[in-house]
Structure 1
Amino acid sequence: MGGQFADTGVATQDYHQFIDPNKKWWKNRRLVTLNLWIFLLLVTSTANGYDGSMMNGLQLLQQWESAFNYPTGSKLGLLGAIQNIGSLGSYPFAPYLCDGLGRKRTIFIGALIVVAGSIVQAASQNVNMFIGARFLVGFGLGFCTAGAPMLVSEIAYPSQRAPVSSVYNALWPGGAFVASWVTFGSFHIQNSWSWRIPSAIQGLPSLFQVLLVLLGPESPRWLMAKGRNQEALATLAYYHADGNERDPLVQFEYDEIKAALEAEQIQKQTGWLQLVKTPGNRRRLRILIPIAFFSQWSGNGLVSYYLNQVFDTIGITDPVEQLLINAFLHMWSLILAVLGGIFCDRFGRRPIFLTSTAGMLVFFTLQTICTSQYALHGNDAAGNAVVAMIFLFGAFYAIAWSPLITSYCLEILPFNLRAKGYTLFSFAVSASLVFNQYINPIAMKAIGWKYYIVYCAWIAFELVYVYFFLVETKNRTLEETSVLFDGDDNVAKLQQHALNKVDDGDAPPSPSNEKGSVEMLEKA
């Protein structure tokens, strides 16, 4: 960054100057502890990803099919979509819980609902009970997925924020991977436990969150927004500087957060209408809403939820073979998604998104061609090539659209609009999923492989849109990123605030209470 905000010409401090590049985080006990808390939050995405693969696997189980009278068409679409319908039901409440009760209490409430829903799902006696339980699971996950990624991005060590925030969504394939092997393992159970066990295991990650999440740190930004500045400073110091509130990095973070919050309050960036009132916020929405739909409307929904129907079009009908391919596909996606998240600050968001989308277009087009050749001519080689194309398409999808969409969304939103903006983003994701999950099986049944052509055209449109509208944000703090959207005026407000602090003697909470505040966190 060279000590400046890109494209603004306004000089400002860079947090990198306060970080020793030779200091290894795994040698710092408190950073290790912080990252363990973050890992507990990351499993939210694992729980979310588990569902799609579980439903894929259950459709391959004769015991599940017979228990629910072999659902097809709209009934199968409803079974796939109902969890996301449940998530949609929670979104009107999620931002108010996140901003009112705090991030971690919102996660606790959501996780508790998921556990209850998983128990009901595993105990289902008919298809309606199963559908109701899946709605309950989705409703709880809506709260978890609202609070967890925000808390990750707001408590992470500055130089680790982008990678760990990106790994959050990268673990979606991790949940899918676990579910694929669980359903594969239960395949040979010759009774209803073949599908009840995977249904019950879905609640396991949320159970850990119920037991532990309230013991972890709360967002310093949320604490400061509630006037609890001393607790915020103590949290930053405890996890980012071994408890030293005088540490330059802690002082920099504290001052920057405080200045940004005050600037947002001056601009009255709190209500829903603020999302469309300023040019910067409209620019944010022009990015957030499309990438939410792109993340689900890129042909990936066919593989995520209806892989068995894709296999049927190319003659792979053996359930064991289908389950194995499903399992290895998710392991492949998990590895590449994590790598895409880890290296997002090295290569930048735009290059990764562009490479990902271009690769998706190439290999989904080839998948369509190979599928058509099998359907029209019965070419076995073409059918086998489809499997290879699915893996290559999945690789390019995984490096950007799995890890980066959540972290990118959160980092371009200012604090006071982060919960509302992220809720709108999540609503768009769930709405696109509901549409996909309901329409895909109907369209696949009606026109078969020709349905793929629609996605080929759509991915081409995505590539053009990403090229013209995505903004690069690498190597910036959450507060610095806002400058790219709100312009120099926001920087001027931050600098004026810093000058006023010096003139008015307005300093952060006194480090004289350092020992007490750190001891408070240690006891917690």
Structure 2
Amino acid sequence: MKQFGNIYLIAGISIIGGGLFGFDISSLSAIIVTDAYRCYFNQGPPGACLGPRSDVQGGITASMAGGSWLAALCSGFLSDRFGRKSAIMTGAVIWVIGSIIVAASQNIAMLIVGRVINGACVGICSAQVPVYITELAPPSKRGRLVGAQQWAITWGIMIMFYISYGCSFIDGPAAFRTPWALQMIPAIILFFGMMFLPESPRWLASKDRWEECEEVLILTHGHGDPDSPWVAREFQAIKEWLEIERQSKAVSYLTLFKPKYINRTHIGLFTQVWSQLTGMNVMMYYITYVFAMAGLTGNTLLVSSSIQYVINVVMTIPALIWVDRVGRRPTLLFGSTMMAIWLWCNAAILGGAGEYVPGGVDDIREAKVRVTGSASKAVIACSYLFVASYAPTWGPVSWIYPPELYPNELRGKAVAFATSGNWLMNFALGYFVPPAFANITWRTYIIFAVFCTAMTVHVYFMFPETAGKPLEEVNEMFDNPNGIKYIGTPAWRTKNYYSTSARMEHGEGLGKEMSGDESPERHESTEPEKKV
């Protein structure tokens, strides 16, 4: 079967796996406030149409993340044994099965089972799509290509929200069954699209399939030219690092906790954990609750909620264009600082100007504080600004950064472990937020504001810069230049070497690099005027 080597096409098809996560998010956020959903899954008095209890709704939402957590952990074994491509295709099949069950749900238990199965797909794809793209992409394009997964998530969220909104005008259970069934379409496209894409060259090398590895490098990096110097350099670098890695014992999840790797394990895990503790789940899953507290109702509530999804799509674009030039550290630091500001503002507004409504605003039991007038507009504005701060920063970089930290032999398992942290927090927050709004109301925002403030400090002192560095050379950054074992260069002293990588990919300076005289980092340090 013919395979295509255009790296943008490869990324464009594989990131549909991220789009599935987005579909799942908004298929709930647009539906949980509709009468069709609340009447069908009602746990209040007969005929009241109050929907599930707060804790049960949290369980329904969190069930997807629960399935994702377990599947993300298992995806490392699946990916290492059968390949990155096969793992992603397996996830697509699982999604179709889960969507059938969700769309046919007769009760809450069946809905939860279907969402757990859907979560298994999201766990596999969210962990292995970044690994797949990272191992295929050239260094200067790696950030934007892996970050495109987040863009796919935002598109999935927006498209599914409007599909769900349109279907909300249908009478009866078809109002939610129809959008849940339509979720199968992107998974089918993903499965058949992956057939035309190559396998990861680094995974092929790990299985001693060297001819296929070189063919993929020629196809993707050499544009069909077997004499490309960039292909020769990549092929040699993969060989050298694989030989070094094979001198150590067989890798497992326990390897991640050995002194040599524990620092990067903690960085990768917290990148994903912090991305959830920003509070973005509040905005994605439960934005309709927030805007109900701001006094919006009916169609106005849903349409105003959808604006944040448009903002999410549009504001992710700057990251795709500039994240490799700007680097990972500045992007993360800016994002967490701005998000903290908007969260503190929302807490202050809801706490200072909010009116407590014991029964919930418009019978939405989770919305127990109401603001009006200018305070209402301020809450909506801060919510939009929060999304605009997350979209170009923690959203894409949380997927870009972890795969760059690890050596080839560990990457599949390490990224799977880091991503499992994402889903563990996703599960906890999905379950926690409805009862939190119902019980501690506006103070929920304080919790997330504190998290955003803490992550700013953590990133500054512990997260090194990886932008522009070939994967085989990121390892050098974690070795102390003075020879102290397992203690790398201080994070705040690491630099972005995008310029050097871009020149090398176009054939500039390859002679010295391939001769082993200098690495991009050393080369860059002699030309300070070219640093980014």
Q: TM-score range by the shorter chain?
A: 0.7 to 0.9
Any residues of structure 2 matched to 1:165-244 within 5 Å, and which? 165-244=146-225
Give the distance between the partners of 2:22 and 2:120, measured in 1 at CA. 15
Identity of aligned residues (%): 28
1:196 Cα deviation (Å)? Answer: 1.0
Give the distance between the partners of 2:203 and 2:4, measured in 1 at CA. 21
Give the distance between the partners of 2:183 and 2:80, measured in 1 at CA. 28
* Contact 1:30-1:242 within 8 A present in 2 as well: no
Comparing 163-172 with 359-368, greater Cα deviation is found at 163-172
What is residue 162 of structure 1 aligned with on the other side?
A: 143
What is residue 362 of structure 2 aligned with on the other side?
A: none
Read off the aligned partner of 1:483 and give its amino acid letter: E
Give the one of 278, 284, 291 matched to 1:298: 278
Read off the aligned partner of 2:311 and give its amino acid letter: W
1:206-255 Cα offsets, whole Å, 9 max, x none, are: 11122231331000000011000011101111222232222100000101
1:100 Cα deviation (Å)? Answer: 0.4
RMSD over aligned Cα, in angstroms? Answer: 2.1
Q: How many residues align?
A: 462
Give the distance between the partners of 2:159 and 2:209, measured in 1 at CA. 40
1:175 Cα deviation (Å)? Answer: 1.2
1:369 aligns with 2:362: no
Comparing 318-327 with 51-60, greater Cα deviation is found at 318-327
* Contact 1:374-1:380 within 8 A present in 2 as well: no
* Contact 2:73-2:417 within 8 A present in 1 as well: no
Read off the aligned partner of 1:354 and give its amino acid letter: L
Give the one of 322, 335, 357 matched to 1:343: 322
What is residue 248 of structure 2 aligned with on the other side?
A: 267
Give the distance between the partners of 1:378 and 1:251, measured in 2 at CA. 63
* Contact 1:106-1:147 within 8 A present in 2 as well: yes
Read off the aligned partner of 1:315 and give its amino acid letter: G
Give the one of 298, 304, 307 matched to 1:328: 307
What is residue 377 of structure 2 aligned with on the other side?
A: 384
1:205 Cα deviation (Å)? Answer: 1.4
What is residue 78 of structure 2 aligned with on the other side?
A: 97
What is residue 497 of structure 2 aligned with on the other side?
A: none
After superposition, the Cα gap between the structure-2 partners of 1:336 and 1:414, relative to the gap in structure 1 and judged at 3 Å, is same
What is residue 496 of structure 2 aligned with on the other side?
A: none
Read off the aligned partner of 2:196 and give its amino acid letter: L
What is residue 6 of structure 1 aligned with on the other side?
A: none
* Contact 2:141-2:324 within 8 A present in 1 as well: no
* Contact 2:79-2:412 within 8 A present in 1 as well: yes
1:204 Cα deviation (Å)? Answer: 1.7
Higher helix fraction: Structure 1 or Structure 2? 1
* Contact 1:217-1:235 within 8 A present in 2 as well: yes
Give the one of 119, 124, 129 matched to 2:105: 124
- Unmatched tracts of structure 1, length 5 or more: 1-28, 491-500, 503-524
- Unmatched tracts of structure 2, length 5 or more: 43-50, 356-369, 486-513, 516-532
What is residue 14 of structure 1 aligned with on the other side?
A: none
Give the distance between the partners of 2:28 and 2:327, measured in 1 at CA. 34
1:254-300 Cα offsets, whole Å, 9 max, x none, are: 01111111111223362222212134x12112212222221111121
After superposition, the Cα gap between the structure-2 partners of 1:336 and 1:462, relative to the gap in structure 1 and judged at 3 Å, is same
* Contact 1:84-1:434 within 8 A present in 2 as well: yes
* Contact 2:69-2:421 within 8 A present in 1 as well: no
1:308 aligns with 2:288: yes
Give the one of 73, 76, 95 matched to 2:54: 73
What is residue 352 of structure 1 aligned with on the other side?
A: 331
1:90 Cα deviation (Å)? Answer: 1.8
Give the distance between the partners of 2:446 and 2:295, measured in 1 at CA. 20
* Contact 2:136-2:200 within 8 A present in 1 as well: yes
1:379 Cα deviation (Å)? Answer: 4.3
Give the distance between the partners of 1:195 and 1:179, measured in 2 at CA. 11
What is residue 278 of structure 1 aligned with on the other side?
A: 259
1:453 Cα deviation (Å)? Answer: 1.6
What is residue 386 of structure 2 aligned with on the other side?
A: 393
* Contact 1:150-1:410 within 8 A present in 2 as well: yes
Give the distance between the partners of 1:30 and 1:103, measured in 2 at CA. 16
1:108 aligns with 2:89: yes
Any residues of structure 2 matched to 1:462-481 within 5 Å, and which? 462-481=455-474
1:148 Cα deviation (Å)? Answer: 1.6
Give the distance between the partners of 1:459 and 1:243, measured in 2 at CA. 46
Give the one of 416, 419, 429 matched to 1:436: 429
Any residues of structure 2 matched to 1:496-511 within 5 Å, and which? none
1:343-390 Cα offsets, whole Å, 9 max, x none, are: 111111111111111111111111212222331495421011110001
Give the distance between the partners of 1:179 and 1:212, measured in 2 at CA. 21
* Contact 1:99-1:419 within 8 A present in 2 as well: yes
What is residue 13 of structure 1 aligned with on the other side?
A: none
Give the one of 41, 56, 60 matched to 2:14: 41
Read off the aligned partner of 2:315 and give its amino acid letter: L
